[in-house]
Amino acid sequence: MAITGTAPESGDGPEPESRADDEPAPGRHGSDRPSRPATLGWRAPTSEWTIAAVVSAVLAIGMTWPLARDLHKAIPHDLGDPLLQAYTLGWLSHALRGDPGGIWDTNSFWPAADSLLFTDSLLGYAPAALFATGTTSTLVVYNVLFIGTFALAFLGAYALLRQLGARVAGSAVGAAAFAYAPWKLAHLGHLNVLSAGGIALTFAMLARGHGWSLREGFKPERQRPGWILAGWLCALWQFAIGVALGLTFVYVLLAVSVVVGIIWLVKRPALQWRTPAADGLGGTLFSLGVWWIADKHAEVARTHPETARPYDYLDRFSPTWRSFVTAPEESRLWGAWHEAARADFTWAPEQTLLVGFTLIGLAFGGLFVSSWNLRQRLWLVLGVAVTVALAMGPNFLHDGAWAWGLLYDYVPGFDAVRTPGRLVLYTTLLLAILAAGGLSRIADDSVVPARKERGLAVARAHALLLLPIALVLAEGLSVTEHRELRQAPVAMSELEGPVLFLPSDGRDTRLQYWSVDGFVDMVNGSAAFTPSAESEILEDSKSFPSTVSIADLQEAGVETVVVIPSWLPGSDWDGLDYEVNPPGIEVERFDDAVVYDLGTS
């Protein structure tokens, strides 16, 4: 892994505050080596940030292989949520191209309004979604974004750690631990949860913009208002991807802003006038964007009270103390070994929160040997303790009354969250900072002195420091196979909507993905909750194709019913007789589907 320590020029990326381990680049002032003559043709990139970006992309492709080879025909992990989120990208493209004002009202969950907000909207990915113009291109866009989440997580964490003052090796190891933590393997079907790189990148930009690092503190001469504005816009983009991570991110940013504000009031550091101006403009844009999206979600919550989660409902999805040392079944290294530990979990995908034993070990070592001072390390440990307590939800001490319970009772939005364990994201980031501090101290004590000898001594020192990255990546390997998609059982674009597909269950995500071909209105849909209107229509369909059921569906406005016989066994519609031709109803039979025209239009 070839990452140089060359300092970026102003504007090239977040800049670490100390460069004791970095050599001058050839041809720059301060170097005793002559510049190489200009040559025609390709030259290897030498900028640290160019190399870091390339390494991020190569790692992401390698760790998710062979997805990059099968972008057009496979989808990672399963045929559930990944297809729902691919469909969401397709809908964003369809709406933005044809009717931007109707972006919130998808073709799913007919006749419900604002159905895009029944789950994470992925609105931040709208520019990329514009390339999704059909089922195949939608799949390609989804897969590219999926791979990109890992690349951005690595690059964002690397930028943050470098800005805080960590050395190259420590930053690379910490970034890999953040991007490829074992707990993320359980979320390979959740693009919205994997999309965490913007969080680390936001903090990197804001820290750089304010001229602050852990190693050297606040440096007034290093204030960069442009980076401050970029940080706030990055934060808005992160929130726009979805509230699964965005809700807590908003409150974390608010808490950090309050702490920084108090420190400023007490210490009154020297600020350029452009710094508070950038914070004011960026913070205002961020707040307005968050308010706009949050208000739409609040409207959905008012219309659909079923979105609220009873506090005791969270028990099923909240982790226990054992969760933080238990890997998901998707882990190639630990999955089989931890099978017995997962047996007692009520919902393992949200309760297997191993951040990585390598990271835990490095972070523990970083408590005692570190480039960060003792007070900083204690604050980091406190942050780890708080995030662990909150992540446990009702399973923390006293049913979480003094942790998650306070958020649930007093902080807007948390009563709709069913997965407190996703706060392990911040636990992982804090541990990565601790680990990077420890490795950076080793670099301070070994690599930097070795530069006086140059050559083999430096190479050996760097190799030893980068060795942990191999262990981190090994823990991040997955056994999950990518799934290939079958064709829709009928031509979706030729159906007369509204359509009801039977049976309706977790396989509705496939129907949503297939509906990218034409986006016909349909009752079916899968999201974070099921609207009561859909539940009523589905209940009326349980006796289909009886005369009473057909009459109820006609009265509801359903135009077409499509039965997929191969899906019926084991479903609530197991006894449906699809060989019957109801009187007065036109029936068309295909190899994999039976289409009933109810004629309600």
What is the 3-state secondary structure of 78-107?
A: CCCHHHHHHHHHHHHHHHHHHCHHHCCCCC
pLDDT tens digits along 58-70: 999 999 999 999 9
Q: What is the CA radius of gyration of the chain?
A: 26
Amino acid code (one letter) for 135: T
Q: What is the pLDDT of residue 459?
A: 62
Average pLDDT along the chain: 89
Q: Is residue 563 classed as helix, strand or coil in its secondary structure?
A: strand
The one-letter amino acid code at 379 reads: W
pLDDT value of position 461: 63
Banded model confidence at residue 456, pLDDT cuts 50, 70, 90: low
Residue showing tokens 């903090």: 203
Q: Tell me the C-alpha distance between 589 and 564, whole Å.
A: 10
In 337-480, alpha helices (H): 339-342, 348-351, 357-368, 374-391, 404-410, 424-445, 447-450, 456-475
Confidence tier at 444 by pLDDT (50, 70, 90): confident
Question: Tell me: the pLDDT tens digits for 522-566?
Answer: 999 998 888 888 889 999 999 999 999 999 999 999 999 999 999
* C-beta separation of 155 from 168 below 8 A: no
Confidence at residue 438, expressed as pLDDT on a 0 to 100 scale: 95
pTM of the entire predicted model:
0.90
**Phi and psi at residue 586, to the nearest 5°:** -80, 130
pLDDT at res. 11: 37
Query: Residue range 225-251: average pLDDT?
Result: 97
Q: What is the DSSP string of 503-556?
A: S-STTHHHHHHHTTTT---BS---SSS--HHHHHHHHHGGGTTSHHHHHHHHHH
DSSP state, residue 589: E
pLDDT band at 427 (very low <50, low <70, confident <90, very high): very high
Contact 259, 382 (CB under 8 A): no
The residue with tokens 């420890």 is 438
CA distance 231 to 206: 5
Alpha helices in 328-400 (DSSP H): 339-342, 348-351, 357-368, 374-391
Q: Does the structure show a pLDDT above 70 at 28?
A: no
What is the predicted pLDDT for the residue at 24?
A: 34
Contact 173, 466 (CB under 8 A): yes
Dihedral angle sign, alpha carbons of residues 117, 122, 124, 128: negative
pLDDT at 308: 79
Q: Where are the domains of the chain?
A: 196-305, 492-597
Per-residue pLDDT band for 7 (boundaries 50, 70, 90) equals: very low
pLDDT score at 46: 64
Whole-angstrom Cα distance, residue 159 to residue 595? 55
Of the listed ranges 21-30, 326-335, 374-383, the one predicted with least confidence: 21-30
Q: Shortest CA distance to 317 belongs to which of 353, 348, 356, 358?
A: 348
Q: Is the pLDDT of residue 19 over 50?
A: no
Cα 9 to the chain's mean position, in Å? 30
Dihedrals φ, ψ of 110, to 5°? Answer: -55, 135
Q: What is the pLDDT of residue 447?
A: 60
Q: Which helix (H) or strand (E) holds 203?
A: helix 197-209
Identity (one letter) of the amino acid at 61? I
Share of the chain above pLDDT 70, in %: 89
SS3 597: strand
Which DSSP symbol is given to 9? Answer: P
Where is mean pLDDT largest: 33-37, 432-436, 446-450, 504-508? 432-436
Q: Mean pLDDT throughout 374-384?
A: 97
Report phi then psi at 17, rounded to 5. -85, -10
Q: What is the mean pLDDT of residues 245-259?
A: 95
Contact (Cβ atoms closer than 8 angstroms) between residue 390 and residue 427: no
